[in-house]
Structure 1
Amino acid sequence: MKRTLKTLTAAGVVAAIVGAGVVYFGVINVGADDPHSELVYSLLSTARDRSIAVRSRDIKVPDLTDGTLVRAGAGNYNSMCIGCHLAPGLAGTELSNSLYPAPPNLSKLGVDGNPAAAFWIIKHGIKSTGMPAWGKSMADPYIWGMVAFLQQLPALNAEQFNALVASSGGHQHGGGESKMHDHEGQHDAQKGAAAGHHDAGAAEEVAKADDHHGEKNSAHAHEAAAAPTQDESPEHAHPQGAEASLDASATPAAQLKTHPHADGKEHTHAK
Structure 2
Amino acid sequence: MKKIIAIFIVSCILFSCSEDNDDNLIAPLPQAAITFNFTHNWDGTTINNNNLQTETVINAHGEVMSMTRLRYLISRFELTNENGQTYRFNGYKFTDLSDETTYNFSPENNNIPIGTYTLKFIWGFNETDNIDGAYTDLNSASWNWPAMLGGGYHFMQFDGMYNVNTTAMPYNFHNGTARVSMDVFEQNFAEIVLETPITIINNASIEVKMNIAEFFKNPNTWDLNVLDTPLMPNYDAQKMMQENVLTVFSIGNITQ
TM-score range, shorter chain: under 0.3
TM norm structure 1: 0.20
Identify the structure with the greater strand proportion: 2
**Rg larger in structure:** 1
Answer 1 or 2: higher relative contact order, Cα 8 Å, separation at least 6: 2
Identify the structure with the greater helix proportion: 1
